Amino acid sequence: MMRTRPLKVALLGCGVVGSEVARIMTTQAADLAARIGAPVELAGVAVRRPDRVREGIAPELVTTDATALVERGDLDVVVEVIGGIEPARTLITTAFAHGASVVSANKALLAQDGAALHAVAEEHGKDLYYEAAVAGAIPLIRPLRESLAGDKVNRVLGIVNGTTNFILDKMDSTGAGYQEALDEATALGYAEADPTADVEGFDAAAKAAILAGIAFHTRVRLDDVHREGMTEVTAADFASAREMGCTIKLLAICERAADGRSVTARVHPAMIPLTHPLASVRGAYNAVFVESDAAGQLMFYGPGAGGAPTASAVLGDLVAVCRNRLGGTTGPGESAYAALPVSPMGEVVTRYHISLDVADKPGVLAQVATVFAEHGVSIDTVRQQGKDGEASLVVVTHRASDAALGGTVDALRKLDTVRGVASIMRVEGE
């Protein structure tokens, strides 16, 4: 039997995502009520610019006083889609203190202060859901913390930023340079006017912190995630990748150590074999590849951003939280019982593709091979091409630690026969 008294929902932010949340709440009100077991009512919308026309939202619901809205005391759920650290953090904790559960899409805040927010939610007996914080519409958070709760996740490997994937895909498929591909992404609306958060990996790093924390039942903060951007990736790198049967993606990689005693989280460009499912992810789409003991290999794929896709994830959380409210219960909170240490990047072991500019004369290859051997880095393949006294030497290693590879490169730079290190790229997905 459906309850007639509505559940009251406040919306913090009414931009691209917030306006879609409000629209779906209105146009699909009957279906949402049937799925939840009670109607949901939009009780207030906090915005910065109240004079902007917001189709479908009654003007009397709009306010610039977000604090007063979350302090009302009669709200069941607060949906936060304003982003950033403050005032979002204070508004969320205030909402908990005044009796509301929270649905958020705020990856930056959750990556930085997720543990503290979970603690406040638990203190007040409220829910904190955030499916929309990672990979837009793709169901990922809930499968990791609920569907795979009985399994042991060993690795999460993903493309979690649509802007960077569009740019790299364009460079791969057309031969465009980085700037040309970025300009097209901007013109099509895939890239912001200031794309730094995307192309330098900050956005993906926040998502990696959230994913690692959930997957490994360990608190992983944004500061724990090693981050490298993709602005230095060149057409020559893609040519080298193709020669290896690979492409290049900006990957978020969260791994459990082989001995199970630590975890790592990192974001950086990497070569990935064309046979790997992630290699075929095109355009602005996202995909996350999960490896676990019992389930094996799973892949989640779909649009990772945009108003409607992200709103879909928000509404999914809203339905779940509202059901919990009606049942007088809460969903899963933070699971950090494992408390595994996060290893530094220097201890990460992977394969490497190194391109060197060298003198084209006898003995160069032997010198280079000796340096690799002295630093304990085993060579898998090597390819040399030379002309007019100059040559390029491409070395692909077996698995080695980042620290060992760094020492190797430093030593190579000191050789008289090495003119420079053209590029270094990790090789993942094997």
- In angstroms, rounded to a whole number, what is the distance separating the alpha carbons of residues 348 and 154? 14
* Tokens linked to 194: 């200031």
Check if the beta carbon of residue 413 is closer than 8 Å to that of residue 401: no
- Look up tokens 């049967």; give the residue: 245
- In angstroms, rounded to a whole number, what is the distance separating the alpha carbons of residues 267 and 204? 7
Angle at CA 139, nearest 5°, toward 200 and 8?
A: 105
Nearest to 249 by CA among 268, 277, 276: 268
Q: What is the side-by-side strand order in the sheet with 77-80?
A: 62-63, 40-46, 7-12, 77-80, 101-104, 128-129
Residue at 98: amino acid letter: H
Q: Would the CA dihedral through 246, 207, 323, 331 be positive or negative? A: positive
- In angstroms, rounded to a whole number, what is the distance separating the alpha carbons of residues 385 and 392? 5
Upper half-sphere CA count for residue 118 (Cβ side, 13 Å): 18
Annotated active-site residue in 126, 207, 387, 414: 207
Q: Would the CA dihedral through 30, 32, 35, 36 be positive or negative? A: negative
How far, in Å, are 225, 270, 337 from residue 302 at the CA level? 24, 21, 31
- In angstroms, rounded to a whole number, what is the distance separating the alpha carbons of residues 105 and 78? 12
147 DSSP assignment:
I
Active site residue 107: no
How far, in Å, are 25, 48, 177, 302 from residue 64 at the CA level? 21, 6, 44, 34
Angle at CA 426, nearest 5°, toward 425 and 430?
A: 140
What residues act catalytically?
A: 207
